Structure 1
């Protein structure tokens, strides 16, 4: 069946529906989907509970998505909160909010600001992210990574008191990539080609191939130049 022959799903107010394959999904209000769902386009304004995997070529989330499953997207725009019990795979994610995953996160591009928590590996071609709270991943593997500190988040009001009042920063055991430009980052090991350790960083060991720059206020336990 061609995707333009698939049915649309429109949910307004408080609703419950079954999963399935759809061309367009539009949700406004408080809704629940029981079962895996796939769509060409997926748009949600409100609060959504997805009991199963969710996949969409284009996904726009304005509000809160609680996902009991895996998330697969072509492109995702997140203005709010995604709380997933599985992993995320996709091409690009542009976010202003909070992304929390128990599994891995694999993206070609992650940009925006907010908070992310990844229970496994965060891998991407490019990450350019402004921290608005405490973010973490077990390991981060990238081609290019730029981490900055940003101000308070308007989206944080969606969570009320759910956001822990932790110091703004990024924590990972290992960060590895071709170009790493870090601020307010804590890691056991940072390994890369060109590495910039900026203000607010605390790194156990830095391994670099091409060049290393360390801010005077950063803390680095050991620096080591490694082979190409």
Structure 2
């Protein structure tokens, strides 16, 4: 992308956008125009007032991108806010990611938390943290480990969907378990624990402990834990 020109911000101030090799912000920096770079690293506080396109994003501090963000590799250990769409091919979230519109890519690993006002679309979505998705979460493989708090999505769709309780290693004696809430969960192969959903549709559906389901529609097989509540079951 860049031709060797770097943008290194150690103090504070506003800087123009443009094409760079490396952008590194250790102080408090504002980038006023579109920026394109091979590397975009924030250890302090940054604001990009328009769009960011980069190869590698690493956020150890706080980053606010007002427009769209596109990146091949993303690691968030601090806080990142994207005002519009985030096209992030491979992400690992250990801190907090907030997206104002759609989040999409190939592989998502969520150990911290994400908040997305639109849809989330990945090939593989693996969460052992928490999420609040106002739209549709869709992936070929959805794997959710519920450690603490409440995760929610309007709808969840995928090939294989696995939702399991996971003991919180930080608070091993804590009684609170994580929960998942969704209006509709639809997939080929579904296994759920600690899940509240209005409708679950699948080929093979297995309901583990701690679930409250309004309607289940299945085509091949349904198994359910007797401790879970299912109002209506229909083979279609």
Q: Same fold (TM over 0.5)?
A: yes
- Verify: 1:34 aligned to 2:49, yes or no: yes
CA distance in 1, matches of 2:56, 2:169: 27
Q: Which residue of 2 aligns with 1:186?
A: 196
Instruction: Tell me what 1:79 maps to.
Output: 94
Aligned to 1:9: 23
Task: Identify the residue that residue 160 of structure 1 maps to in structure 2.
Answer: none
**Aligned twin of 1:159:** none
Q: What SS does structure 1 have at the residue aligned with 2:84?
A: coil
Q: Between Structure 1 and Structure 2, whose CA radius of gyration is higher?
A: 2
Match of 1:104 in 2: 119
Question: Which residue of 180, 187, 202 corresponds with 2:212?
Answer: 202
Consecutive unaligned residues of structure 2, counting only runs of 5 or more, are 4-18, 171-175
Bigger share in strand:
1
Tell me what 1:158 maps to.
none
2:81 aligned with 1:66? yes
Residue in 2 aligned with 1:168? 178
Per-residue CA deviations over 1:137-184 (Å, capped at 9, x if unaligned) read: 111111011111234486xxxxxxxxxxx9731111110000101001
Root-mean-square deviation (CA, aligned residues, Å) is 1.6
- The TM-score with structure 2 as length reference comes to 0.86
Cα separation, partners in 2 of 1:99 and 1:185, compared to 1, 3 Å: same
Q: Which residue is equivalent to 1:145?
A: 161
Aligned ranges 1:87-126 → 2 under 5 Å: 87-126=102-141
Matches of 1:112 and 1:104, distance apart in 2:
16
**Residue 215 (str. 1) matches residue 230 (str. 2):** no
2:30 pairs with 1:20: no
For residues 30-53 of structure 1, the C-alpha deviation after alignment (integer angstroms, 9 at most, x for no partner) is: 221111101011111111111111
Alignment TM-score, normalising by the size of structure 1: 0.89
The answer for the alignment partner of 2:150 in structure 1 is 134
Contact 2:165/2:177, CA 8 A, preserved across alignment: no
Greater mean alpha carbon deviation, residues 179-188 or residues 14-23: 14-23
> For the Cα contact (< 8 Å) 1:21–1:37, is it kept in 2?
yes
Task: State the 1:118 CA deviation.
Answer: 0.8
